[in-house]
Every structure is written in structure tokens, then in C-alpha cells.
Amino acid sequence: MRELTVQIKRVQLFPIATPRQTGIANQHVIVKLEAGESHVGWGEMSDLSHVPMYQFDLADLARMLNELLRGKDPRNLVKIEDDLMKFYPDEGHLYSRSGLVRQGIDLALHDLVARLERVPVYDLLGGKLRDRMRVCYPIFRMRSVAEVEPNLQRVGEQLARGFDLIRVYVGTNWEADTQFLGQFADRFGDKVQIKSLDFSNLLDWRRATMAVERYQELVDFMLVESPAPRNDFDGLAEFRRRCRRPVSEHVLHIHHGWQLLSHGCVDILNVSPYLLGGLRASLRLVALAEAARASVLIGTTQELNLGTAAVAHLAAAARILDYPGDNTGPHLYTDDVVKTPLPYEQSHLLVPEGPGLGLEVDEAKLATMTTNAEWTFGVDLTGVIDRTPQNRPSPTA
């Protein structure tokens, strides 16, 4: 029997840190939402180990979210989203803290409401068009040729685990890039595909153009990502005019998506719930791409299982989704808060079928991970260096 009135009672935030296989640890915030007599929903604010170098005051944030949400009907997703947009507005950069707050609440709300209705989250989004999404494994940016061989070995290891698709972060060390791509072609050319070469906004459009002209002599790849500095619409459009491969860029907010499309900057919108603030905001960008006859891929910041499950439900319901996604966080981290991780099959993320997001949180484990969370933010800069240009001043150098 459907309950007529359900009210949100409490929001709790749990900081955790999980190491990646590559050695660095990332910080996340797990969100627990309680409503009515016994309803619970889980979400996450994914991967806080990024610039800008300041962090949430979690006690403050929890207090504010409780003020905002307590007593509200969790099923009124549009109303809560509208409120959150007012208090956590778009910030316009790739690691928007506001976007992460809205992501955490949006995911927990969808999980809670879908559990309450005893349906998978994709049902709340209208149903499903697909039950899996092809995803790629990341090869992170090489700063020296010494990193080439370990990365080639990593490709081999991931191939053995079923991943036959990678994306490669490039643009810092041309020698390392060309060595990697050339040897990749020799060793894996017939077994593993490259989804994208990702410049992460590090080069201007002309340098990125020259790099791609060189790299495409060595390997095949599906698309190029972020080949101009951040917010350089003219440079991005210039690159795209000269490049025969499709170009994608991360969408920061809905108006940014409109700008990218109307300025002719991209073929593909890189849509991410962590950045846009959850599932509803992401679906609006998918509709915008559809209106512009553009393509969509789902990007990542490296979500844990909860955040990746949300991506799977988004993928299930997205009308436009014509390139593989980047969502292999659960394979990248060595630990998580869920009892059973999401299923992957041959480079595909499978859409979970259970109620809600389809995952069970191990609360005892979460408590241990929160207690033991070493909040290294601002101390260990290794975690943020991946997105940092080589010439940027660093407190450690």
C-alpha cells in the first residue's frame, strides 16, 4: 500500500577515502537520507580530490542540508531540485562543489523513492532503452617515458579482465605519448580499441591539432576530448573544423551545453551526474544534444559503486547515447562501501535490476571506513596532479 505522506527526516554525510590501483587515495562523501518510518536512500558526492584546493565543512553542510530537506516529500524531486539549485548554484568549472552536493542528494533521493516504489531507479526516469553501456578503462597522463611500459602492462592486465577499450590522457609529454601509442598499436592494435585521446584542456587548439595529426599516424581512436583551454569556445571550434574525428567536451551546466553546441565547438556532449548535479540535470543535457542532433557520452570523475550505479540508470534511460562511457571507477578503487559491486561484462557496465540504485550499503564497513578515513586533502597533491599542467607552481617543488 502506497504511503500517502512521506517526509524526509534526516540527512547524514560520511567522509571516506579509498585508494586507487594506481596508488593515490581519493576522498568521497557518502550520503544517507532517511524518510518516513523506515525509508532509506544512499548517494555519493564523488571524488573530492581535485582543485580548487578547499574542502567542504561537512558539519556545516550537513546542518544546512537538514534545514533544507527536513519535512519535505522526497517524491517531489522537481521541488527539491529547484530548492537545491538556489542554494548550490552552478559554479562553472569541472570540479564544482555545488554540483557534487546536488549529485549526492539527487542520487540518494532517487534511491530512496525508487526503493519506496519498489522499482529500479531507471523506472523513475521513464524506463530503459538498454541494459548495458560499453565503457573504457583509463590510461592516465604520462609525464615521462618511464611511465610508458607500466601503462602498456596495465592495458594487458585490463584486457585479461575483459576490458578491450581504453581512453588515453595525452598532451603533457609528446615523446611518452608517441612511444605509448606506437607500442600500443604493435602489441594491442587488433585486440583493444581506443575510445578517446583526452587533452583535459591542457593545450591550445593549435598544439592539440599538431598532436592529433601525429598521433593519428600511430593509432586509431574514436574521438578527441577537451583539445582547447577551458572556456575557449573559439579555440575549440577552430580545432573541430580541422579535425576529422568527433570532438567532445565536458558539460559544466545546461547553458554551457547550449554554448558548446551553438558555437559549433563539439560533436559530443560529455555528460556527468557528478558535474551537472545528478540524474535529472543529466537527462536535460541529453535532450539538448538530441535537439542539436549532437551525440552524448557519459563521463566520470571516478565514482564509487553508488555513483556508477546512477550512471548505469542514466545510460538505461538516455535517448541519445552513441559513444562508450568512462565509468570504471568500481574497478579502479581497491575498496568500497557496498556489499556487492556492480557487474561488468566484457567492457560493459550492466544496469542493476534491484530496487533503487540496485546496491546494498554495508553500514558496518561504512562506519569503519569513515572512522579510518585519512583526509589527506591539501596535504598529498599527487591526487590532483593528473589535471595540473606541468608548468604550474606546486607547493612541493
Single out the catalytic residue among 169, 215, 274, 333: 169
Give the integer Cα–Cα distance in Å for 308 and 44.
10
CB of 269 to Mg ion, least distance (A): 12
C-alpha cell at 367: 562506519
What's the number of CA atoms in the CB half-sphere (13 Å) around residue 81?
17
Q: Does 386 bind Mg ion (CB under 5 A)?
A: no
CB of 75 to Mg ion, least distance (A): 31
Single out the catalytic residue among 88, 95, 137, 323: 95
Q: Does 301 bind Mg ion (CB under 5 A)?
A: yes
How many residues bind Mg ion (CB under 5 A)? The answer is 5
Figure out which of the listed residues 151, 158, 179, 302 binds Mg ion, where binding follows CB under 5 A.
302
C-alpha cell at 364: 558496518
Give the integer Cα–Cα distance in Å for 198 and 5.
48
Q: Does 198 bind Mg ion (CB under 5 A)?
A: yes
CB of 336 to Mg ion, least distance (A): 15
Residue 169 annotated to the active site: yes
Q: Does 272 bind Mg ion (CB under 5 A)?
A: no
- The region of 194-202, 261-269, 285-293, 317-325 touching Mg ion under the rule CB under 5 A is 194-202
For the segment 207-236, give every residue that binds Mg ion (CB under 5 A). 225
- The region of 14-22, 47-55, 141-149, 342-350 touching Mg ion under the rule CB under 5 A is 47-55
Closest to Mg ion by CB, 12 vs 334, is 334
Closest to Mg ion by CB, 47 vs 111, is 47
CB of 129 to Mg ion, least distance (A): 25
- The region of 70-78, 100-108, 137-145, 299-307 touching Mg ion under the rule CB under 5 A is 299-307
Position of minimal CB gap to Mg ion: 301
Q: Cis peptide leading into 52, omega within 30 of 0?
A: yes
Q: Does 106 bind Mg ion (CB under 5 A)?
A: no
- Nearby residues of 222 by Cβ (< 8 Å), 6 or more positions away: 193, 194, 195, 196, 245, 246, 323, 324
Q: Are 243 and 215 in contact (CB under 8 A)?
A: no
SS (H, E, C) 196-207: EEECCCCCCHHH
CB atoms within 10 A of CB 361: 21
Residues in the chain: 397
Instruction: Indicate the angle between helix axes 97-116 and 58-69, nearest 10 degrees.
Output: 50
**Main-chain dihedrals φ then ψ at residue 327, nearest 5 degrees:** -95, 85
- The region of 45-53, 114-122, 171-179, 187-195 touching Mg ion under the rule CB under 5 A is 45-53
Give the residue numbers marked as catalytic: 95, 169
Contacting residues toward Mg ion, per CB under 5 A: 47, 198, 225, 301-302
